[in-house]
Each structure stands twice: as C-alpha cells, then as structure tokens.
C-alpha cells in the first residue's frame, strides 16, 4: 500500500479550487461571479426549497440565505412561498436565470471535456463511480456537523441536551 502524502480530501479540494478558477474565468462575461453550481442545480431541480439545495450542495442554510439574496438581486431567481407549507420557499430560476444557466452549462461542458482529456470513457465511469462511493462512505462516519443541516432527525432524544 502506498504512503498517503496528501489526503484524498485535500487532493479533491485542490482540484475543485482549480476547477472553480477556470469556471469563473470562463464565465467572467456574466453579471454574477459565483454560485454557478446553485444555478445549475436549480436548472435540473424544479420546485426545490432552500434546505433541499443545502443538503445537496452541502451548504449551511444561513449561508444559503445570502447566496439566494445575491442571486435574487442579480435577477436569476425568485422565492415562491409554498402554499401547502408556507414555511417553505420554492426557489425558481427566472427567465433570465434559465437563459444564463444554458451558458453556464455550456462552459461546464467545455471544461469537463478539457479536464477529462486523455481519460478513457471507462476510466471516467470508474472515477465517477468511486467518487460517489467515497462520498457515500464518508457520510456514514462521525463528523463535526460542520456547515450543514443534514437530517439527523432520527435521534431526536439527543437534541435537548445540545447546549
């Protein structure tokens, strides 16, 4: 077994930093300069509420408020109160948001293509499969709850004595 010099989590973090740098550059013509992944998520997930986005993109719900304020101000999204549960706000892309999401998707596709250059189809499949497994496996391990509000509603009993 090889000696781990840089933890896998660090390697993936480094890659994501590089990736976001390239994506931001590639989309510098847009009038927003971050949260592209949120736009893409909304593009493929209609009628989802804030907690939904938080759970899927691993972001804190308090941070999400600011993200959505930013995107609302830029005219990409709007909040719609769910009439069936008025606590929830559905987040929807505006016409502009939908239009821009196509551009974002185009950039992402281009970057993905260039990133996976020299990687075979089979290797790509395995890479994605393993990345998925890693995330699933690691989710099961004890963690500082850090930055999200993932349903841990099963053990209600411990809630009370959380200082």
Partner DNA sequence: TATAATTAGTTATATTTGTAAACTATTTGT
Partner DNA sequence: ACAAATAGTTTACAAATATAACTAATTATA
Chain residues that interact with a second copy, rule: CB under 8 A = 3-26, 28, 36-37, 40-41, 44, 56-58, 105, 108-109, 111-112, 114-119, 123-124, 126-127, 129-131, 133-135, 137-139, 141-147
Question: Which residue in this structure is represented by tokens 């993932």?
Answer: 150
Q: Which stretch binds DNA (CB under 7 A): 38-46, 106-114, 130-138, 139-147?
A: 139-147
Q: How far is CA 102 from CA 18, 38, 48, 120, 145, in A?
A: 22, 13, 19, 26, 34
- Among residues 75, 51, 73, 72, the alpha carbon closest in space to that of 63 is found at 51
Q: Which of 29, 114, 121, 163 binds DNA (CB under 7 A)?
A: 163
Sheet hosting strand 77-81, strand order edge to edge: 48-49, 89-93, 77-81
Least distance from C-beta 77 to DNA, angstroms?
11
**Chain residues that interact with DNA, rule: CB under 7 A:** 17, 34-35, 49-52, 59-70, 79, 84-89, 144-147, 149, 151, 153, 156, 159-160, 162-163
């Amino acid at each position: 077994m090889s000696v781990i010099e840089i933890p896998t989590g660090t390697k993936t973090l480094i890659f994501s930093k590089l990736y976001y740098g390239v994506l931001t550059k590639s989309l510098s013509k847009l009038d927003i300069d971050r949260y592209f992944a949120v736009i893409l998520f909304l593009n493929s997930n209609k009628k989802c509420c804030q907690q939904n986005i938080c759970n899927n993109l691993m972001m804190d719900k308090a941070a999400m408020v600011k993200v959505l304020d930013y995107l609302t101000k830029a005219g990409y999204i709007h909040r719609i109160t769910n009439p069936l549960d008025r606590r929830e706000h559905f987040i929807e892309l505006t016409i502009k948001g939908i239009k821009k999401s196509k551009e974002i998707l185009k950039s992402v596709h281009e970057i993905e293509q260039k990133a996976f250059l020299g990687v075979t189809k089979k290797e790509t499949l395995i890479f994605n499969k393993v990345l998925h497994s890693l995330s699933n496996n690691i989710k099961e391990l004890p963690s500082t709850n850090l930055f999200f509000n993932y349903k841990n509603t099963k053990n209600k009993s411990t809630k009370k004595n959380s200082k």
